[in-house]
Amino acid sequence: DAPEVMLEHVAVLAKMVRERRSFVIHTGAGFSTAAAIPDFRGRNGIWTMQAKGKAVPMPKFENTVPTRAHMAAAALYRAGLLTHVITQNVDGLHQRAGLPAEMVSELHGSVYREVCSAEGCEIEYLRTFDVTATKPHNGRHRHKTGRSCGACGADLHDTVVQFGEHLDDDTLDAAVAASEASPLSIVLGTSLKVPPAS
């Protein structure tokens, strides 16, 4: 959009936020492109470039930093306006920007979280490194990270949701509850074309 049109849109959005006094945001890949993490459908997106026969380099997630958008979301949370973030991103940048983990529903999991695969144990480990970086990528639904649970010794699995897999019920329930309780939802960096986020 032209700058003057964008300013009009921003004014309308600011008025809505002032009137409703709180909101949730839904973020997708476009929210993190300024952190050099490619989106999927954009001009230089992963699927767009693959269709042209070109590869898209992925940065190491540990080397990315929260963008101005992530920092603004954290500031809006601290100001008491933003009540919850529902994200399709797995990059953990909302938390690294200062949002409490319980205020972020990561619908597609996180590259920084792995869980014990043993029924009844299911201990969750939060890491400072990408737990998917060293796992085999040559098969669909390959979630083993190559590490073992410190409590029971079972395999640890990443939490990243692949196509065709179900979202975590608790995460989805928290996202739905936060959205339903909010007087306003703002969608940023996503086309919301993939269910159930759509």
Active-site annotation, residues: 108
Report residue 63 as tokens. Answer: 């080397």
Q: What's the rounded Cα separation, in Å, for the pair 91 and 95?
A: 9
Q: 3-state class of 68 per DSSP?
A: helix
For 83, other C-beta atoms within 10 Å of its C-beta total: 18
